[in-house]
Structure 1
Amino acid sequence: MSNEAFVTTVLGPVGVDDLGVIAVHESLLSVVPGAQYAYDITMDRAEIFDRLEAALVAFRTAGGGTIVDRPGMFHGRDVKLYEALSRATGVHIVASTGMGPEENLGGYFLTPQTNPPTPWPAERFAELFSAEITEGMVVPRVERRGGAGLVVTALTEPEPTATDLSLLRGAARAAAATGVALSFSAADPAAAPAISGEEGSPRVVIASADRRDCV
């Protein structure tokens, strides 16, 4: 793409002038982390594809061009499904890396040798997220595919935890190192931009900042 500005989609880089109308905060799939792998939960992939295909075709017919899928690594992200949907509908799909808040993390992301267990350091999260952007998103236990075009996280309400802050710093470092945008949902929308600025992340999207006004 030479010097043209681009965004990484599940089917590769797309020039910003070719993205069209963008829906910036969507969830093609959203499940409790890990639920899609539970033995007692059935997910009909054909039905999921048909429903999402119909929604994306309607979006494109209405003038839409790009969907930004924001759930991150563990809320149902399905890279192969997104690739198939993008090819079938012509809608660009930007997938995301990242995770959070703390309550949605498994013990793997804590350091068990400490008492109580402490979160991974920010740099370890940064390495994980950066690899998903530059080397491809992990398809569990199999391979990496494509690349994430966004790094996301969320902070615990009403007060971020130590793990949340480590995640946020790691996400901001990954965004700064790779050039993608950082998106976060925050209990305090003013605090997270300050932290992301400290870590050198220049492009920030504040998600769900209006939800209190909708109650």
Structure 2
Amino acid sequence: MPEPEKRSDKFRWIYALWLLPFLAQNWLYWLHPQWDWWTISLIIWVLTLIAVAGSLCINLALRRWRRLVSLLIAPLLLLVLLHILAAVGITSDSVRFALTKQTYLAEIERTDLPGGEQRFRTFVWDDTFLEKTYSTLVYDESDEVALPRGEQSTAWQQSVQTSCSEKKECVDLDPGPDEYVSVRKIGEHFYILDNYLPNAFP
């Protein structure tokens, strides 16, 4: 008759769920942006590390090799699944935008503009700076914000400068030497502008 600990030594997919609290913050932080996500991320990281290390030690001591392998492999399979979802356009940003798009459109519709002028609005998308990045949601009816840097028309540049000085709705496509800017399309006339500052702190 097999020993009890040997009977319980089998591959467990549930270990993949251990990464969920760590990954969930990227999907849920915008629901409560006022929270201290730096501290929350640190706590989640430490607790996850302790749980994984403890489970590794226990399974090593009991020689539960299948559990040990599943502990190492199952989380990787979850990451592969997330990459597959991202490849087909399902990301934390796309889900958030789908849920909040109508709110932004309603705000944009209230914008009063002179006849013929195309709308341009910006909204804070992520200012937690968790990954040394500030993200801005940009609505640009002209879609010139997505053009390579320097190819925007003079009229567009002047319009953006006016919007920045008068409404504090700014877009900087020409960052400093220690900054990187990328623009991603998230919807019709909607873009996410990421401002990455890798040298902001150690």
Q: Could you state the TM-score of these two structures normalised by the residue count of structure 2?
A: 0.24
Q: Could you state the TM-score of these two structures normalised by the residue count of structure 1?
A: 0.23
Q: Which has the higher helix share?
A: 2
